[in-house]
């Protein structure tokens, strides 16, 4: 986990920010990997939660990004990241700002999506524990705080389909993906549940790749966004 990791990922109670223990988690960056994606721009929904951690990863990859707070911010983007945090807060503000509908239009215009933790909850078609509205862009059913509300944070190493080497997976009050539709590819599992999945141009992780030194999942997403049918518009 990153030594400068953002520390308040919607954990703990709704009012008290979760503080992730850093002991033994501090790590050096693995070095700068640069990818050339001229003209490709990714948006990061910046309402609440760990959007700045995503921005740091994209900076390390040399990928242009912008923070998304209103529908107008979606213009010219190839993909959008929905960060971790508190999905109920995201939902409320997105609806108030007209962003909820704008994101659905963005998806219909072939925009790519990457949700982490709360972002995955917002993407899933079905949400339980309790039920709440969602963008419905991923054929999956998720259980919020599926590992329990307080004892729900952990760091695991696990295999993924992205590469041979295992990947660090930081879980913070994560949802459990209970079911995925036939069109959803499971890219990684942990404790018998899918934790990284993809359906066409939608990528979703129940963990937080943005809080690890490893840029593999973001690289995968940027390639997904790049290889789609051109740059989408709001």
Q: Which residues of this protein are in contact with ligand GLN, per CB under 6 A?
A: 9-10, 84-87, 117-118, 121, 144-145, 172-173
Q: Which residue shows structure tokens 């039920």? A: 131
**Shortest distance, position 43 Cβ to ligand GLN, whole Å:** 18
The conformation of residue 132, written as its DSSP 8-state character, comes to -
Torsion of CA 183, 177, 124, 127, to 10 degrees: 140
> Are the C-beta atoms of 171 and 156 separated by less than 8 Å?
yes
> Residue 85 or residue 194: which is nearer to ligand GLN going by CB?
85
Q: Which of 86, 208, 218, 219 is catalytic?
A: 208
- The nearest distance, CB 173 to ligand GLN, in angstroms, is 4
Where does the chain show beta strands of DSSP type E? Answer: 41-45, 64-68, 79-82, 112-116, 124-128, 138-143, 153-158, 167-172, 176-180, 185-190, 193-199, 202-205
- 3-state percent helix, strand, coil for the chain, nearest multiple of 5: 25, 30, 50
Nearer of residues 79 and 119 to ligand GLN, judged by Cβ: 119
210 in catalytic set:
yes
Cβ 41 to ligand GLN shortest distance, Å = 24
Choice between 117 and 195, CB closer to ligand GLN: 117
- Nearer to ligand GLN (CB atom), residue 85 or residue 209: 85
Q: What is the DSSP secondary structure assignment for residue 230, as one 8-state letter?
A: S
Concerning whether 126 is annotated as a catalytic residue, the answer is no
208 is catalytic: yes
Residue among 54, 117, 218, 219 flagged as catalytic: 117
Active-site residue among 9, 210, 218, 219? 210
**Least CB distance from residue 87 to ligand GLN, whole Å?**
3
Report the C-alpha gap between 139 and 180 in whole angstroms: 6
Q: Write out the catalytic residue numbers.
A: 117, 208, 210
């Amino acid at each position: 986990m990153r030594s400068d990791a953002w520390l308040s990922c919607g954990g703990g109670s709704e009012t008290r920010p979760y503080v992730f223990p850093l002991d033994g988690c501090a790590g050096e960056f693995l070095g700068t990997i640069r990818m050339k994606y001229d003209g490709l721009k990714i948006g990061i929904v910046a309402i609440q939660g760990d959007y700045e951690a995503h921005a740091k990863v994209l900076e390390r990859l040399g990928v242009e990004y912008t923070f998304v707070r209103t529908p107008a911010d979606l213009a010219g983007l190839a993909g959008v990241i929905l960060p971790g945090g508190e999905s109920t807060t995201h939902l409320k503000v997105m609806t108030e700002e007209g962003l909820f509908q704008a994101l659905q239009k963005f998806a219909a215009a072939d925009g790519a999506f990457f949700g982490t933790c709360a972002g995955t909850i917002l993407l899933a078609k079905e949400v339980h524990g309790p039920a709440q509205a969602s963008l419905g862009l991923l054929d999956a059913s998720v259980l919020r705080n599926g590992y329990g509300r307080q004892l729900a944070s952990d760091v695991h190493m696990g295999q993924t389909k992205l590469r041979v080497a295992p990947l660090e997976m930081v879980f913070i009050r994560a949802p459990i993906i209970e079911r995925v539709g036939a069109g959803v590819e499971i890219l990684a599992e942990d404790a018998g549940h899918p934790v990284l999945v993809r359906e066409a141009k939608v990528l979703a992780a129940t963990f937080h790749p943005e809080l690890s030194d490893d840029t593999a999942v973001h690289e995968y997403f940027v390639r997904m966004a790049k290889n789609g049918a051109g740059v989408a518009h709001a």
